[in-house]
Every structure is written in C-alpha cells, then in structure tokens.
Structure 1
Amino acid sequence: MGSEKLPFLLVVIIQAIYAWMFILTKAALDAGLNPFVLLFYRQAIASVVLFPITVITNWRTSFNFSFKVLLKIFMLSLVGITIGLNASHIGLELTSETVGSAAFNAIPVITFFLAFLMRMETLNIRKSHGIAKAAGVVLCLAGVGLIAFYMGPRIPPLNHHKLFHPKSSTSGHSDSKVHSSGTWIKGTFLLLFANVAWSLWLVMQGFILEEFPSKLLLTTIQCFFSTLQSFIVAIAFERDFSKWKIGFDVRLLGVIYCALCNAGISWYLQAWCLQVKGPVFVAMSNPLCILFTVISSVLILGVPVSLGSVLGGILTIAGLYCVLWGKSRERKILMASDENSDNQNSEHVVIIGESLS
C-alpha cells in the first residue's frame, strides 16, 4: 500500500515546491533583484549542480554531437528557458505569486492547442471528448482574461505580519506598481506569453528526444546554453554591476531555491512520477500549486489575494480538467477500437483456418 500511495505523496511535494518557487521568486524581485540577473544566477547554479551529476551518470556512454543537434538545443533553450523564464519573471514582478501559479495551470492546455496546430493532436467536435477539449481551451482563455481584467476585492490575510518585506518605492517595486491596472494586465499577458513559450518548449523537446535519448544530458546542455544566453540579456539590461551583488537575504534564498527546484529535487521526483503514473497523472496535480500559493499567502506571508486571481485560477483549473478528461476519453475509445479490430482479425483467421480444413 505504501508504494501505491507514494506517487500521490510525491506530486503533492512537487506542487508545494513549485508554489514556493513562485513565492520566493516574487519576494526576490520585490527585494530589488533584477529579473534578468535572477535568471542568469539560477541557471548558472543549475548548470553547476547538474554537470557533475551528468558526468557521473553518463561517463561510460558516448554521444555524437552534430552541429545541427546542438543548434536545435540552443534554440530550445532560447525559447523555453531564456525567453520563457525572463517573461515569467517580469510578469511575476508586475503581478503576484498567485497570478503566476494560476497561469501555471494553463500550460497543459496551451501545449495541447499548439500540438493541435502542429497536427500532433486531433479535435473532433462531433464527439464528447472533442467538445471537452475545445471547452477546456475556451475556459483556460477565459480564466486568463479574468485574471488580467478583473482584480475585484482583495481577500485579507489572516497573518498581518509580512514574512518578506519589499524595498521602498524608490527601488521601483512599490505596491502601487503592482496594483496598477495597466501593469497588472501587462504582467498577466507576459505570464501567458511565458506559458506559450514553455508549451512550445515541451512540444519541441518531443522531437529532439527522438534523436537525443539522454534526458539528463539534454537538460544539462540546455542549462549551459541558457546560462550564456541569460548572461548576455542581463548585461544588456543591467550594466551596473553593483546591482548584481546579493547578500544573505531573500534574494540569495530565491536564487538558490529556484536553481535547486529546476535542477534538483522536483526534477527527479517529477521524472519518477512520469515514469510510474504517466504525464496525465502529473498534470492533474497542477491545481495544487495555486492552492498552496493562496494558503501560503493568506496564512504565512501576510499578503492579500485578489478575488479575480482566485476565480481566474478556478477557470483555468476547470479548463485543464476538461482537456485531460477529453484526452482520457479519447484514449479509451482508441484502445477499445484497437481491441475490437484485433478480435475481428483473430476471428477472420479462425474462419479461414476452418474453411481450409
């Protein structure tokens, strides 16, 4: 029974890790850390952590690196990590950790939509599973729209002592900036753009893994390329190296936690759950992320949560489950049709055998 419950426990831990990734990233940004510098630091630490693990794991295996394959991985890193995470950090800086975790639920839906445009997925609106998948995409877009254009009343925190104290307005991270409707809308759509980049990154990885079998080595190379790319972006937008310094505060905590979250515990736990239970099981746990984020904001962080973020998160969760249900229903129908065709073929063989005898 313990082994059967272990995947359920692990996905809870994974989503809690992701929730605190949004929280600590937001805290580091509010403390004055440049979002581009944050990405460079986290990818550099991730590369340092992954490199020895990759060498120890694959030192007996030989790989042929063609220029074409390396170029594909370079572009993959550029789209999914450098562009996607930079957009996510800026969007998180302009909104809140709750919005970031709510938008996180849209990734499986956007991935399905991109796969449909690339003809990797089917959508038959005459069938119940096709209607469910189409409704999921609509609900997801409605949730993002609600988060962007409706803030509503704010749910007051039960803890009135903030765990992380942002810098004053002179640093450009005041509450007025976050609460401005213009920056809020801009930040929400930057998060949506980041999700599109991540979804495209997931789809592109499927093609590359066909000719590059080592997932760990692929991740390490991506971290290395994204470190170089993010350094170029960071130095282009922040040339004052005095602002690159971070002390022993929430900025350092956010950088180290995000790096370990990407390349450490959560990566291995998620890979294990994917192997044991499959991607649908892991995707269905995504809504736990916004639940943990809201609970942490209200009970621990002392940060109010807008009603629009919660309602938008509920709509994106509903859209996620519609798409997942449609995918599951479609898979069952295909499996049933394959079994029927196999039975018909076996009956046909028996009839031929009887006629010959």
Structure 2
Amino acid sequence: MNIFSKLAMDTGMNPYIHVAYRQIFAFLFLAPVAFFVERGKRPPMTMTVLFQVFLSSIFGLTMNQITYFVGLKNSTPTIACALSNLLPAITFVLAVIFKQEKARLKTLGGVAKLMGTLVGVAGAMLLSLYHGPVIPIGEPGIHLRVPDNAANGSNGPGHANIVGPLLVIISALTWAIWFIIQAKMGDAYPAPYSSSALMLSMSTIQCTIFGAIMVPHAREWALYPGIRAVASVYGGVVCSGIGVCMMSWCIQRKGPLFVSVFSPLLLVIVAALSWALLREKLYLGTLLGSVLIVIGLYSVLWGKSKEIEEVQQPLKELQQVTKEDIEMHKELQEVTKDDMEMH
C-alpha cells in the first residue's frame, strides 16, 4: 500500500482523492461480506453505538487516512511506515489515561512498557528530525518505468520536510484513539464486520465531501494513469477489506499480541521495496530511528506479555491446588473403602 500510494501521488494524484476512493472501494467490498457473514447475528443498533461508530469513522478512517497519506506524500514510504510503529506505544499511553490499561510501574512488565514507550518516541523524533549521511548500499538492479514516470511528476520526496513525519505521527494518534473507542464499542455491539461496513459508509461520505471541497475540479478525480486505480483498489479491497478480515482471523486464534509482534517486519519490507522500486536512499537517521522504534515496540510487547503471565500465575496455582485436593480426596475415598473392606 505504501509503495502503490506513493507512486500514485507522485504522478499527481491528490491524497484527498486517493483517500476518498479507498473508502469507496473498501465499502463496496466489505458491505456484502458483512451482510452474509453476520446475517441474523447482528444485535440491535442503539444511539450510543451509532455515535461510537460515527466517532470511529471520524478518527479511525477520515482523519487517520487523510493525515497519513498527506504525510506520505510529503515524506517517504520508509519514514511513514517507521513512524506508524509508534501506534502500540501511543495506544498504551491513551489506554492508561482512559483506565483501560494499568501502568504497574512497580512490576518488571510495567517498567518495560514505560521504557519501550519512551524509546519508541525517541526513535520517532530522531527519524523525523535527523537526516544524516546516506548509507552506501549501491543502486538496485531493478529498473521500472512507472517509478521513473512518477518521479518526473513528483515534487520531491520531502525527506527533510518535518510536515510529513508530523502528520504521520498525528495519524498514529488518531488510530490509537480509534482503538480506545473500539474497545468500548465491541462489548456493546459484537458484530465487527457490520460495524466496520457502517463505519466505512460514513467515512466514504465524509472523505468524498472533504475531497470535493479541497479538489473541486472533476478532471483531478480521474483514475489515470493506471497506478492511481491500482493504488485505490488495492488500498480499499486488500488493506481495508481483506487485511482487516485476516487480522481478525489471526487475533481470534493467537490473540492481539501475536499479531502485533509482526508489525516491525513491515518496516523492513517497505525499506527494501522502496530502495528497489522507488530508488529511495537510506539515511543514517532513518536507520537509527527505525531501530529504536522496533526496540521500543518489542519492549512494550514483552512488558505486556509479562503482565499477562503475572495475572495468569495465581490462576495456575489455584488450578494446581484444586488438582491436588481432588487427588487427596480420591486417596481418602480409597482409604475409606479399604477400611470398610477390612471391617
């Protein structure tokens, strides 16, 4: 998505238009899925849930994607992807503020989460503010015509522009707010596909109106060259549609911690593809900042896993005690039975 979107916007596609098309294609894909998968399972809609869905559409889709793609246009896919890894740390801070998570600073897990958050923020600041020398890794052997054409119509990667990284950080903040809202809404309305489809319908209207205000000329909405259509359909169907379904499937079987552990792998993949396909140069600041973000992320995840172990340990001990009581009761019954036979 990062590569396709960057190529599309480098050909002159406005990010507001790209966001609007992404919502449209995502809604057209997910609406029938939600209708058939959750037919007869949807709980009744209330005004409270409807308001939560509206807030989710504002923060989780409209504001999140507008700030992200405008930030992507004014930076690079590697920077945008790296800063997106701040999401777990920002979510942890907001969860503590809204009492959905406990800091537990007197425990090893709580200290690890706090230190991981600070290290991740430091990495984001280093990546955003420090450029540094180019890492000499040579030129890629791949030569594609599309990136060359895109580069000719581009206003430059904007690597040194602080606006791009700042907007991506704001995007991560709005996405974290969406997580907080979703945690409350999921308990009252346990129909994720239907709520997502309703959320996409609202964001489609919001983004289309906002895009029409920002870009009123109809010719700017053309999905030509073809990379614009590819980026819009891919972002909507694959990322907002199939991607959400796949992550939900994995979370149900392995839990959110297992899924989020793979997030830093995205940074490595995007950096390699950006170097190979977009001929993006890798800078020392980008490398050092990315490493700190990954270290901070894994520190938060490790701290969270330690807390889960600490919570589950008393339960395991209770289960062990219960098992021992059952065995002792069986032995007592056996002794009583022997006494009766002896009598």
TM-score range, shorter chain: 0.7 to 0.9
SS in 1 for 2:158: helix
SS in 2 for 1:264: helix
- Cα RMSD (Å): 2.4
CA change 1:35–1:344 in 2 (3 A) is same
Cα distance, 1:43 vs. partner? 0.4
Cα distance, 1:311 vs. partner? 1.7
Per-residue displacement from partner, 1:60-92 (whole Å, max 9, x unpaired)? Answer: 345422233212201110011000110001111
Alignment partner, residue 38 of structure 1:
18
1:256 matched to 2:233? The reply is: yes
Alignment partner, residue 161 of structure 1:
143
Alignment partner, residue 335 of structure 2:
none
Provide the rounded CA distance (Å) in 2 between the counterparts of 1:168 and 1:288: 27
Per-residue displacement from partner, 1:155-188 (whole Å, max 9, x unpaired)? Answer: 453237355235577x6x322x614x3xx21111
Alignment partner, residue 78 of structure 2:
98
**Is contact 2:64-2:172 (8 Å) kept?**
yes
Counterpart selection for 2:169 from 163, 173, 192: 192
Counterpart selection for 1:335 from 287, 292, 312: 312
1:54 matched to 2:13? The reply is: no
Provide the rounded CA distance (Å) in 2 between the counterparts of 1:45 and 1:233: 17
SS in 2 for 1:86: helix
Per-residue displacement from partner, 1:87-144 (whole Å, max 9, x unpaired)? Answer: 0011111100001111121111111111011111112223221211111010110011
TM-score with structure 2 length normalisation?
0.88
Counterpart selection for 2:255 from 266, 275, 278: 278
Please say which structure displays the higher CA radius of gyration. 2
Residue 274 of structure 2 aligns with an amino acid whose one-letter code is: S
Q: Structure 2 stretches of 5 or more lacking a match? A: 333-343
**Is contact 1:27-1:166 (8 Å) kept?**
no
Give the total of aligned pairs. Answer: 327
Cα distance, 1:346 vs. partner? 8.8
Provide the rounded CA distance (Å) in 1 between the counterparts of 2:42 and 2:112: 45
1:302 matched to 2:279? The reply is: yes
Provide the rounded CA distance (Å) in 2 between the counterparts of 1:58 and 1:142: 43
**Is contact 2:16-2:66 (8 Å) kept?**
yes
Cα distance, 1:40 vs. partner? 0.6
Alignment partner, residue 16 of structure 1:
none
**Is contact 2:251-2:259 (8 Å) kept?**
yes
Alignment partner, residue 128 of structure 1:
108
Alignment partner, residue 292 of structure 1:
269
1:241 matched to 2:223? The reply is: no
Percent of aligned pairs sharing the same letter: 27
Provide the rounded CA distance (Å) in 2 between the counterparts of 1:220 and 1:292: 29
Residue 223 of structure 2 aligns with an amino acid whose one-letter code is: I
**Is contact 2:147-2:277 (8 Å) kept?**
no
CA change 1:167–1:348 in 2 (3 A) is closer
Alignment partner, residue 94 of structure 2:
114
Provide the rounded CA distance (Å) in 1 between the counterparts of 2:142 and 2:252: 43
CA change 1:296–1:339 in 2 (3 A) is same
Residue 210 of structure 1 aligns with an amino acid whose one-letter code is: D
**Is contact 1:87-1:190 (8 Å) kept?**
yes
Cα distance, 1:229 vs. partner? 0.7
Provide the rounded CA distance (Å) in 1 between the counterparts of 2:193 and 2:42: 14
CA change 1:60–1:348 in 2 (3 A) is closer
SS in 1 for 2:200: helix
SS in 2 for 1:246: coil
Alignment partner, residue 338 of structure 2:
none
Provide the rounded CA distance (Å) in 1 between the counterparts of 2:277 and 2:100: 43
Residue 266 of structure 1 aligns with an amino acid whose one-letter code is: G
Alignment partner, residue 9 of structure 1:
none
**Is contact 2:7-2:150 (8 Å) kept?**
no
Alignment partner, residue 324 of structure 1:
301
Provide the rounded CA distance (Å) in 2 between the counterparts of 1:65 and 1:335: 35
Alignment partner, residue 243 of structure 2:
266
SS in 2 for 1:297: helix
Cα distance, 1:285 vs. partner? 0.3
**Is contact 1:124-1:130 (8 Å) kept?**
yes
